[in-house]
Structure 1
Amino acid sequence: MVIPVLLSGIVVALAQQNYDDKFARNITFPLSAAAYADDPQRCVERVFPGGEMVKHITVNCGWWSKCSGFVANISSENAIALSFRGTKGKLQLVDIFGKTLSTKRIRWSVNNQYLGQVGRYFHDAFHAIWKEGMEKHVQELLQNCPKCKIWVTGHSLGGSMASIAASYLAWSGLANDHEIRLVTFGQPKTGDTNFGSTLTDK
């Protein structure tokens, strides 16, 4: 299945690493596209032979829509990947616009550290996926591989969830922020300038 995705990557390496086009195109872009698949395992294996999709999560995140993401163990690269699916269908787009226009941004803080304001739909969608099993599996993978690299990616709505996920991983202390790399594609404005700064200042 070929999925057209706007390849204008936004890259934030929380360890202040430089942009790497090869990494964006050959690693995070395929992982981001895999989030749209019914079976991300097949996509993960094509790019990373032996890569294992640990958990694929789909949750209700609006009146007419579902949000999705997965965790993969890329042992050949000593990495854990988190990928979030973007907007799927017109009804979800209506959901996102409706919630964004009708509600204020929500205060985003981790461990009592204020990280800025983020859109409520993006916040709620991330938390629904995180609490439905992503958190548990990320914790287990990090216990087995505390020095693993963590790749976080997504397209569109998935990019917004990915940026919130990366900030959570870094500021919660769950992961070493020097190992986190965030690359998003076609990400809408997710939060205010304070939130944007937290991604580059950590």
Structure 2
Amino acid sequence: MKLDPVLLNMAASWSEKAYNQKNKDAIKIENKITGATAFVIKRKSIDVIAFRGTEKKLNDIITDLTAIPVPYAGRMCHAGFVLQHASIWKEIKKHIDPKKRTMFTGHSLGGALAEMSASKMNGKHDNINLITFGKPNTFFKGFKRPMKLDNQISCVNGSDMVARVPRLLYGPSKSQTMLYFSNTGPDYINPSKDTRRADRGGVADRVADHSMNDYKKRLKEYLDSQEKVKPINQEAARQLEKMK
């Protein structure tokens, strides 16, 4: 399976920039009470909506592993994530152009909010893309209705502990493509649970592997390792420059 290097690089770049207080040429949307923050980046061929991942708040939210799923975004979601998303969604929706390609992206909690946004737009917009990094499980694992998106890619770094929780009632989307950055061997697309379990590192790795900087590094290594990657990356660079 070939993954679009232009979209992957753009998603990684803006997922990292979402941690900044300000971003040039981006519209900032923030709820000071919940702390939920997103940036809207409008380009000629695509609009990007990048959610900030707040790891401290994420830890508080995911500790409640027994939280009852609540109906939201056409699915059953963790109540803590719903509170964050609902606090800024109304404002974000004003910036979504149904005639343009839209990509939702984010790291950590930002990835969960991006996934909920894509679910909100599922079936209402034909050009939705979702690319996340180190996203926790967002939806109730018993909910099987897939999302119909142009791209739905979840990047998971080897031992990243956040990408494995909450576990009790929640699980990854059945319709996503997982790009898994392995600790011990080649990277995988949609690896089995046994492969991921065998690849799990120690506690230190589980924390370090959640860093967005490490995700960017591993993504670059993955793209560089692909067949005929040099011409692909040159073309990706040209396309990325046009989108700026």
- TM-score bucket (shorter structure): 0.5 to 0.7
Residue 79 of structure 2: which of 107, 120, 124 is its match? 120
Residue 133 of structure 2: which of 161, 174, 185 is its match? 185
Q: Which has the higher contact order (CA 8 A, sep 6+)?
A: 1
What is the aligned-residue RMSD (CA, Å)?
2.4
Match of 1:20 in 2: 3
Give CA-to-partner distance per residue, 1:79-132, whole Å, 9 cap, x none: 11111111243xx2443135x3363111125xxxxx33111111111110113x
Aligned-residue sequence identity (percent) comes to 28
Structural mapping, 1:155-170, within 5 Å? 155-170=107-122
User: Measured at CA, do residues 116 and 25 of structure 1 come closer, stay the same or move farther in structure 2, by a change above 3 Å?
Assistant: closer
Work out the CA distance in 1 between the residues paired with 2:106 and 2:143: 18
User: Measured at CA, do residues 196 and 31 of structure 1 come closer, stay the same or move farther in structure 2, by a change above 3 Å?
Assistant: farther
Instruction: Determine if contact 2:18/2:50 at 8 Å carries over to the other structure.
Output: yes
TM-score in terms of structure 2 length: 0.54
Shift in Å at residue 194 of structure 1? 5.2
Structural mapping, 1:1-202, within 5 Å? 20-41=3-24, 52-61=25-34, 66-75=35-44, 78-89=45-56, 92-98=57-63, 100-101=64-65, 103-109=67-73, 115-131=74-90, 133-138=91-96, 142=97, 146-171=98-123, 173=124, 176=125, 178-193=126-141, 195=143, 197-200=145-148
Shift in Å at residue 198 of structure 1? 2.8
Give the SS at the match of 1:137.
coil
TM-score in terms of structure 1 length: 0.65
Consecutive unaligned residues of structure 1, counting only runs of 5 or more, are 1-17, 42-51, 110-114
Q: How many residues align?
A: 150
Give the SS at the match of 2:53.
coil
Shift in Å at residue 57 of structure 1? 2.1
More strand as a share of residues: 1
Give the SS at the match of 1:199.
coil
Consecutive unaligned residues of structure 2, counting only runs of 5 or more, are 150-174, 176-244
- Give 1 or 2 for the bigger CA radius of gyration: 2
More helix as a share of residues: 1
Letter in 1 for 2:105: T
